[in-house]
Amino acid sequence: MRKILLSLWAIALLLLISINPANGQANFQPGQFGINAGLSYGLDLEEPGLRAGFTYFLGESTRLGADLTYWIIEDKWVMEEELSSTGMEINANLHFLFHKGRNLIFYAIGAGGLHYASVSGDLPELDTSDSEFGFGLGPGAEFNMGFISIFAEGKVFFSGFDQIKLNGGVRLYL
């Protein structure tokens, strides 16, 4: 799985290098939408995740967003029992763009969301699930190439599952 993720990052890097950013503009209008997809990594969870989301500009420097992360958690064996785990996050985000250069944007993120985890096994007494509301903050950066951007974000969740999360991916503006 890690080789697949490294391959995807390498492809994204090659795309970044091959696209001429000279035509990119960091001019966003209120009401503008963007959709995004990418990868996540949970530093506490130590597992990768797939994410998808959207953004909506409230003003030139403020946007709302929502994202869904599905964590890819490997099955584990405990006392000769196979345990299967599932993890997901649904977050609402507020981005404040505090630096908008021609091609590079830096922003602060405030996030709140529902975090869900479940573990199931061959024995019913091993089955458990939990969901909690989480609040997080973090920085973000976006390299704008016109209609598409490459972004990287970090979020620290202070409640919920107390997760440090790194995100990266592409954002397409409509």
Number of domains in the chain: 1
pLDDT tens-place string over residues 61-115: 899 999 999 998 888 777 777 788 888 999 999 999 988 888 899 999 999 999 8
**Closest residue by Cα to residue 150 from 130, 127, 173:** 173
pLDDT tier, 11 (very low <50, low <70, confident <90, very high otherwise): low
pLDDT at 51 over 70: yes
Full residue range of the structural domain in which residue 154 is found: 2-173
Mean pLDDT value of segment 14-24: 45
**Closest residue by Cα to residue 38 from 173, 166, 174:** 166
Residue 151 C-alpha from the chain's centroid? 10
pLDDT tens-place string over residues 142-152: 998 877 899 99
Residue type, 148: I
The CATH number given to whatever domain includes residue 90 is: 2.40.160.20
* 93 vs 124 pLDDT, higher one: 93
Mean pLDDT value of segment 121-135: 80
Residue 114, strand partner residues: 90, 133
Mean model confidence pLDDT for the chain: 83
pTM given for the model = 0.78
Burial category of 140 from C-beta neighbours within 10 Å (exposed 0-12, middle 13-18, buried 19 and up): buried
Give the residue carrying structure tokens 């790194």: 166
The tokens describing 79, both together, are: 């006392």
**Closest residue by Cα to residue 151 from 70, 36, 55, 47:** 36
The tokens describing 124, both together, are: 């019913």
Instruction: Specify the pLDDT at position 17.
Output: 47
